Amino acid sequence: MIIRKLFKFENVHIVRGCSTVRCRSSLHGHSYKIELLFESNFLDNAQMVYDFGLMKHNMKSFIDCFDHAITIWDQDEPAYIKDMKRYSDRWIQLPVSPSAEQFSRVIYVMIDKILKLTETLNGEREVSLNSIIVHETDTGYAQCFESDAYSKNMGEIKLEEIHFSDAIREDWSSFNLWEDIKAGKKFVNPTSV
């Protein structure tokens, strides 16, 4: 069975190297819709695959980091990167260009890591991330599966190369949450939300 949870955020970027002149040469924003699709052949004690309320913790925190932020590719011009960080409190720096395709891969890698580090307490079994869908516009989206997320042909995504501004980190339950995730620290789902 597959379940789906939808999240939304507003984000700004430039997609260098794309064919569309406006997209590659001007800051522009999108109202993103992010779909997390989880699957399992088992149901928990409430006869659910995974309680949507549990996603409000670490998963939602990391999707929310992109809200009202600028996403920067670490291979962009150094002066541009410096200015974006100087004039925006909320920024994320990625090791890949912030296209819809790469957003879906980055978010897949982040959510997959969080899911694998989470200890469940309500009988959830063998829950895995099926895919991530990133709607950049009403008419266009990118869908990422595990083989896409970890494909070196599409650019390797290393968690240690994803950086969040202090303003974003201050919104988390712990300022060092990202370091904890990269270090493999386990999280325990609450028994009630």
The two structure tokens encoding residue 32:
């993103």
pLDDT of residue 86 exceeding 80: yes
Cα–Cα distance for residue pair 9/59, rounded to 1 Å:
14
Which pLDDT belongs to residue 171?
93
193 assigned to some structural domain: no
Report residue 56's pLDDT band, with 50, 70 and 90 as the boundaries: confident
* Active-site position among 30, 57, 68, 163: 68
Domain holding 11: CATH number? 3.30.479.10
Q: What pTM was computed for the model?
A: 0.95
6 within a domain of the structure (yes/no): yes
Residue 163 belongs to a domain: yes
Alpha helices in the chain (DSSP H): 21-25, 58-64, 78-87, 100-117, 146-149, 166-169, 177-182
Residue 92 in any domain: the answer is yes
Distance between CA atoms of residues 105 and 148, nearest Å: 7
How many domains are there within the chain? 1
| Averaged pLDDT for residues 45-69 | 92
CB 23 within 8 A of CB 102: no
Which residues lie across from 38 on neighbouring strands?
3, 129
Instruction: Give residue-wise pLDDT tens across range 97-109.
Output: 999 999 999 999 9
Q: Are 155 and 95 in contact (CB under 8 A)?
A: yes
Flag whether 142 is in a domain.
yes
Tens digits of residue pLDDT in 158-186: 999 999 999 999 999 899 999 999 999 99
- Please, what is the average pLDDT of the chain? 95
Q: Domain for residue 130, yes or no?
A: yes
Residue 72 lies in a domain: yes
Q: Which of 65, 101, 124, 136 is catalytic?
A: 136
**46, pLDDT greater than 80:** yes
Full domain range(s) for residue 25: 2-188
Check: CB of residue 131 under 8 Å from CB of residue 147. no
Residue tagged active-site, from 23, 30, 57, 146: 23
182: helix, strand or coil: helix
| 3-state SS class at 174 | coil
Answer whether residue 156 is part of any domain.
yes
In sequence order, the 6+-apart residues with CB closer than 8 A to the CB of 78 are none
Is 23 catalytic? The answer is yes
